[in-house]
């Protein structure tokens, strides 16, 4: 089996999102890039990327929108399904409507269009936390979803996998962990500020490990998933080569901020692991009532090791992440500073 | 000389830009919400958010001068974004697809917020503080992305624009001066506040349009002083007995914010955050690369603008935020209380 050539026609959902903006810019040389965005104001900024970009405005939950998105898309096409909600505005219901319902719709229209490959962007959340700090998630790890977001992404993976197994569409699942890079939303500025001023806590002793993935590395992984012969029917962890200790991540971000000329103050301080445990309980309680608080959710996740093994992707997809944590963080910070963001 | 599309060409600055472009023999088309009503201009009455209309307007054009903006007096954040960001992207995409040779985008000094140091030059990073500045910063990013994609786009950033016919927020000031009421400055008024005359800015925009290759230019008067000096020059010229009075910054900000919130005075965050701060441009790059030089000082501009206000105050109603006097609301009360 040999790798495919990149599709001349690609479809991208979530194209105006954090990942989508990075992905569309890597697809500028394709003949046709059909993008789904939620708002009319996102159309022309995306068209500016390349003359081959065509934009469909609509909600991924809307069948008529899905029809238009795949209308006239031939069998050579690849669909990158990146539309999802990670932090719902208030209620967790949206997670299921968008992450599960949206996936079902786009997958169905992709099948009808007979597309060549469907690349589904999943998450680490279907797997919860690693049982020990040295454990790594791989393709054989069992589902153990973390909260409502994790459950929605488990369901979405299931739909994609079954569709592939039925022979409906050749599908690939890509699982990125903690994601960072240019085109970051405003919440990332708050995070950079909190790390810069040492207000972002190290939960526990900071030796818990986290896998992270730079936008450019993830886009490279998605492009390998599009063409690699080994990709279909499987799920791939795509992350920076090795997980980092939480403390190391925060120190590297502080070094990156400093290298970009920003003043770094204070020194990292720890809060007892118990704080994270309590936050997790509160988050669970809120979510069981359909409510969502981002700060509580993030704090609850910080106490654990969430790390994955990318060797399968390296060996079989030809995944070769080129950007280091320091360089990736510096690029993200520069991108924000050029746009007047305050870190 | 060539075929020029001026977006926002019926607005205050846009119409002065039209005058200068026509005077040098350009063939001028205007896209604006309002018609210019001029016989020597091709009017396209449309919203810059209407991509199809913008596409039609760009057909057969050599140069696009993009001046549409939702100014700080309009306080609706979504409107800011859609006009200033999506509208600019519409113009850039249409210009690219129509093979337009040059785009000049009019930005704003609002992208610098309150600068850490002055003068501000083209290498100073943006640091917008409020919705208008943020939207204008994002629009500049789009211009740079278009330039990286091969479209020839230059950016011109004006300081606060003044000249005959410019009212908007200035009407507040002129009403007070005309009535002989005290003119308030925030704090000592010793902040250096640079203005630019509309005709000097229009000259810079046309020069940027003539120069091939993407460039960014900060534009402002050379002869300017502090806020207090500028206003004192106006009071002396008016001879109505008005004088400049300081009010502490914090209560002034609070007052402007409160009046604006309850809809009694025409202020936006842009005004109460920035009017008491120093911001001035180093214009060396525009001088060197464009051969541009300003012709008016701050004091000349305010005086000219005030005189125009006096002779036209009965005619100015309707039009854009920048040519119609804002509803003065409680300012009228302030004028009577503080006046003679």
Give the start-to-end residue ranges of the domains of chain A.
9-184+212-241+306-322
Neighbours of A259 (CB within 10 A): 15
Say which of A41, A48, A51 has its CB closest to residue B145.
A48
The C-alpha of A330 sits at a distance from chain B's nearest C-alpha, in angstroms, of: 16
Identify the residue among B58, B78, B86 best suited for mutation to test binding to A, counting A beta carbons within 10 A and taking the highest: B86
Residue ranges of chain A whose pLDDT lies below 50: none
* Residues B88-103, mean pLDDT to the nearest whole number: 98
pLDDT (tens digit, 9 = 90+) per residue, A190-237?
999 999 999 988 888 888 999 999 999 999 999 999 999 999 999 999
ipTM tops 0.90:
no
B27 vs B39: CA distance, rounded Å: 12
Residue given tokens 């914010």 in the structure block: B257
Q: What pLDDT is attached to residue B316?
A: 59
Q: How far apart are CA B302 and CA B323, in angstroms?
A: 15
Strands (E), chain A: 9-13, 32-37, 53-57, 78-81, 117-121, 171-175, 178-180, 202-203, 209-210, 212-214, 235-237, 244-245, 270-271
pLDDT in tens, B118-163: 999 999 999 998 888 999 999 999 999 999 999 999 999 999 888 8
* B137 contacts chain A (CB < 8 A): yes
In angstroms, rounded to a whole number, what is the distance separating the alpha carbons of residues B18 and B174?
26
B60 in contact with A, Cβ within 8 Å: no
Cα–Cα distance for residue pair A120/A101, rounded to 1 Å? 14
């719709």: which residue's tokens?
Answer: A105
Give the residue carrying structure tokens 């969502």. A292
Q: What is the number of H-type helices and E-type strands within chain B? A: 13, 11
Q: Which of A146, A149, A180, A319 is catalytic?
A: A149
Phi then psi for A32, rounded to 5 degrees? -150, 125
* pLDDT higher than 90, residue B322: no
Tell me the shortest Cα–Cα distance from B164 to chain A, in angstroms: 33
Q: Does B145 touch chain A (CB under 8 A)?
A: yes
Measured between CA atoms, the residue of chain B closest to residue A52 is B97
CB contact under 8 A, A44 and B134: no
Q: What is the DSSP string of A33-84?
A: EEEEESSGGGHHHHHTT-TTEEEEES-TT-HHHHHHHHTT--TT-EEEE---
Enumerate the β-bridge partners of residue B8: none
* Sequence-separated contacts (24+) of B11-15 with Cβ below 8 Å: B11/B67, B11/B68, B11/B320, B11/B322, B11/B323, B12/B161, B12/B165, B12/B166, B12/B168, B12/B198, B12/B320, B12/B322, B12/B323, B13/B67, B13/B106, B13/B161, B13/B198, B13/B201, B13/B202, B13/B322, B14/B67
Question: B270: pLDDT confidence band, cut at 50, 70 and 90?
Answer: low
Tokens, residue B173: 């000031």
Does the structure show a pLDDT above 70 at B303?
yes
Residue A77 has phi, psi (to 5 degrees) of: -80, 155
User: Can you list the domains of chain B with their CATH numbers?
Assistant: 3-162+194-219 (3.40.50.720), 170-192+223-278+296-335 (3.90.25)
pLDDT at B176: 87
Dihedral of alpha carbons A81, A85, A86, A92, sign? negative
Residues in chain A: 343
**B133/A51 touch (CB, cutoff 8 Å), yes or no:** no
Q: For B26, list phi and psi in degrees, rounded to 5.
A: -70, 155
Rounded to an integer, the average pLDDT of B78-91 is: 92
Does the distance separating the beta carbons of A49 and B96 come in below 8 Å? no
Q: Which two tokens stand for residue B147?
A: 């330039």
Q: A-B interface: how many C-beta pairs under 8 angstroms?
A: 54
Catalytic residue list contains A214: no
A45 vs B contacts (CB less than 8 Å): 85-86, 89, 142
Give Rg (Cα) of chain B: 19
Give the per-residue pLDDT at B312.
84
Chain A residues near residue B146 by CB distance under 8 angstroms: 48
Whether residues A338 and B134 touch (CB distance < 8 A) is answered with no
Contact by Cβ (8 Å): A256, A326 = yes
Cβ-defined contact of A44 to B92 (cutoff 8 Å)? yes
Q: Which residues of A touch B93 (CB under 8 A)?
A: 44, 47-48
Facing residue for B93 by CB, picked from A40, A44, A340? A44
> What kind of architecture, by CATH, is found in domain A9-184+212-241+306-322?
3-Layer(aba) Sandwich (3.40)
What residues of chain A have any CB closer than 8 angstroms to a CB in chain B? 40-45, 47-51, 337-340, 342
pLDDT band at B324 (very low <50, low <70, confident <90, very high): low
Of the two residues B298 and B334, the one the predictor is more confident about is B298
**Is residue B159 exposed (0-12), middle (13-18) or buried (19+ Cβ within 10 Å)?**
buried
> What's the CA gap between A92 and A290, in Å, rounded?
5
Q: What is the pTM of this model?
A: 0.89
């Amino acid at each position: 089996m040999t790798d495919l050539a990149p599709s001349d026609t690609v479809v991208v959902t979530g194209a105006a999102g954090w990942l989508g903006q990075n992905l569309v810019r890597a697809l500028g040389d394709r003949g046709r890039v059909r993008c789904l965005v939620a708002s009319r104001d996102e159309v022309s900024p995306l068209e500016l990327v390349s003359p081959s970009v065509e934009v469909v405005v609509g909600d991924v939950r809307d069948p008529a929108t899905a029809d238009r998105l795949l209308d006239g898309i031939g069998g050579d096409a690849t669909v990158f399904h990146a539309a999802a909600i990670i932090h719902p505005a208030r209620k967790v219901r949206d997670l299921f409507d968008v992450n599960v319902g949206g996936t079902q719709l786009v997958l169905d229209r992709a099948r009808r269009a007979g597309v060549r490959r469907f690349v589904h962007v999943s998450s680490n959340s279907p797997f919860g936390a690693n049982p020990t700090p040295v454990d790594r998630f791989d393709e054989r790890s069992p589902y153990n979803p973390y909260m409502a977001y994790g459950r929605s992404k488990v369901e979405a993976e299931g739909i994609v996998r079954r569709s592939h197994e039925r022979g409906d569409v050749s599908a690939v699942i890509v699982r990125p962990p903690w994601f960072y890079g240019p085109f970051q939303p405003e919440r990332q500025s708050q995070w950079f500020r909190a790390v810069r001023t040492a207000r972002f806590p190290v939960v526990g002793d900071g030796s818990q490990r986290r896998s992270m993935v730079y936008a450019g590395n993830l886009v490279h992984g998605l492009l390998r998933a599009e063409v690699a012969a080994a990709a279909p029917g499987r799920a791939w962890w795509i992350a920076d080569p090795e997980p980092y200790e939480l403390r190391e991540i925060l120190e590297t971000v502080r070094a990156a901020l400093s290298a970009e000329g920003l003043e770094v103050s204070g020194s990292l301080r720890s809060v007892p692991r118990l704080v994270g445990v309590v936050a997790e309980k509160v988050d669970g309680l809120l979510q069981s009532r359909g409510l969502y608080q981002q700060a509580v959710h993030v704090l609850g996740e910080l106490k654990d090791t969430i790390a994955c093994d990318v060797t399968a992707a390296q060996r079989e997809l030809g995944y070769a992440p080129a950007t280091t944590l320091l360089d990736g963080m510096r690029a993200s910070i520069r991108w924000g500073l050029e746009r007047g963001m305050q870190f | 000389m060539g075929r020029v599309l001026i977006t926002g060409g019926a607005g205050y600055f846009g119409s002065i830009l039209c005058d200068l472009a026509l005077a040098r023999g350009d063939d001028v088309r205007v896209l604006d919400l309002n018609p210019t009503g001029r016989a020597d201009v091709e009017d396209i009455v449309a919203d810059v958010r209407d991509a199809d209309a913008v596409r039609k307007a760009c057909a057969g054009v050599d140069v696009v001068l993009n001046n549409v903006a939702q100014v700080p007096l309009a306080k609706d954040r979504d409107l800011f974004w859609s006009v200033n960001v999506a509208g600019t992207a519409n113009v850039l995409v249409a210009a690219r697809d129509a093979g337009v040779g040059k785009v000049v985008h009019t930005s704003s000094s609002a992208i610098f917020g309150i600068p850490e140091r002055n003068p501000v030059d083209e290498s100073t990073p943006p640091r917008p503080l409020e919705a208008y500045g943020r939207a204008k910063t994002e629009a500049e990013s789009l211009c740079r992305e278009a330039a990286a994609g091969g479209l020839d786009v230059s950016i011109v950033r004006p300081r606060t624009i003044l000249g005959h016919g410019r009212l908007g927020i200035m009407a507040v000031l002129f009403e007070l001066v005309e009535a002989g009421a005290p003119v308030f400055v925030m704090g000592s008024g010793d902040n250096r506040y640079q203005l630019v005359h509309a005709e000097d800015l229009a000259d810079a925009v046309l020069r940027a349009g003539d120069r091939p290759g993407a460039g960014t230019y900060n534009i402002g008067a050379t002869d300017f002083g502090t806020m207090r000096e500028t206003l004192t020059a106006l009071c002396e010229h008016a001879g109505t007995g008005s004088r400049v009075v300081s009010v502490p910054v914090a209560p002034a900000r609070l007052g402007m914010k409160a009046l604006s919130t309850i809809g009694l005075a025409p202020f936006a965050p842009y005004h109460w955050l920035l009017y008491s701060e120093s911001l001035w441009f180093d214009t060396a790059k525009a001088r060197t690369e464009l051969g541009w030089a300003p012709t008016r000082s701050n004091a000349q501009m305010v005086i000219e603008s005030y005189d125009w206000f006096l002779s036209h105050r009965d005619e100015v109603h309707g039009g854009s935020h920048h040519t119609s006097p804002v509803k003065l609301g409680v300012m009228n009360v302030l004028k009577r209380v503080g006046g003679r």
